[in-house]
Structure 1
Amino acid sequence: MSVRSEAWTIYRQALPVLLVSLAGGLFAGLILEDMVEHVARFPGLLVMIPVFLATRGNIYGALGGRIASGLHQGVIEPAFERNDRLVNAVVASFVNAIGISIVIAAITWAVLAGLDREVAALWELVAIMLVSGVLTSVVLIAGLLAIIFAGFDRGYDPDNLVGPIVTTLGDIFGMLFLLLAVVSVEVLA
């Protein structure tokens, strides 16, 4: 295969997914705009949002890379069936995502308190990050697996799909579940 035809194949496979990712990013921005009224109630929330979204991308981008490599090597089949490699990768990603969600809240609280800045209660920030972290992780795992498996079955290179899928699902559902968590914690507080 020539360099030109290889480049065209990558472009053809990636462009539609990138366009969906663009639309997803805009939708996530609309959700963020709806959160503005809630941000004042939880000082420190805006500090956590970029870190939260970035860690979703890092953790689930790594998971997607492991899945893509497993598919290329033939050690993972593109099906929802028991596979120890897949289960271990998913569990590790889930535990990592939940743990880092709590760390984000704790570090944000500590830094803002240390800088003598207004900050919500630690339990509020932890609750927001925990709820949104768990819900986003479930959606990212299911969505990532479903889309990569379906794409692989249709001849798409999973390496061309992982980045845009993780970004789009992470941004949309990360913001959506952050809003849900904020509203839930407002009710409890």
Structure 2
Amino acid sequence: MIEAGRLLFAKEAKFFFGAQRLNQLEPATLPEVAFAGRSNVGKSSLINAITGRKMLARASSEPGRTKQLNFFNIGDQLVFVDMPGYGYAKASKDVKKDWQGMMFSFLRGRPTLLRVLLLLDARIELKESDHQIMKLMDRAAVTFQIVLTKCDNLSATQLEKKEKEISQLLQSHTAAYPFIRFTSSQKNIGIEELRADLARLVV
């Protein structure tokens, strides 16, 4: 599937829609994969690495504050949905609550959504907001896969410890996909394998 992933993401990738409210969403016509994660976890960098476009996705100038869902068409075969980052320390309680409400409604009501890639920074411990989003996806009954980012900063021993920790955690989540991906957008680690995972969903 490595070659299928390469061919899929060799196709044109373009931003085509942004929505700040769910009532702005257009009817979905293609299968979708959403990207979720804490602010500054590297969602934009990973989307750019997967698609091979340096500036396709751009980080918000106000991390944790935007409520916009950004949609990217991948060769008229797949749509990436870039979800706003969560867990931003300076965001008000109202903003955080509103984020959870909007995301739950989107996840639960999107029949074309095949999977959520939940990005976690490999260098830091899981936060309460990470646990909350996993529970939210359990309740929404949406399959999520853990993708560890910035893995080039850890040793093989540290990565093995991280994998064991998260694998054990996932056993308590009904919506969790059991296979974890290790990536680095900067060093292009795990990108081919992740492309193959995504190609399996649509090819």
Q: Same fold (TM over 0.5)?
A: no
Q: Which structure dedicates a bigger proportion of its chain to helix?
A: 1
TM-score (norm 1): 0.28
Larger relative CO (CA 8 A, sep 6+): 1 or 2?
1
Q: Which structure dedicates a bigger proportion of its chain to strand?
A: 2
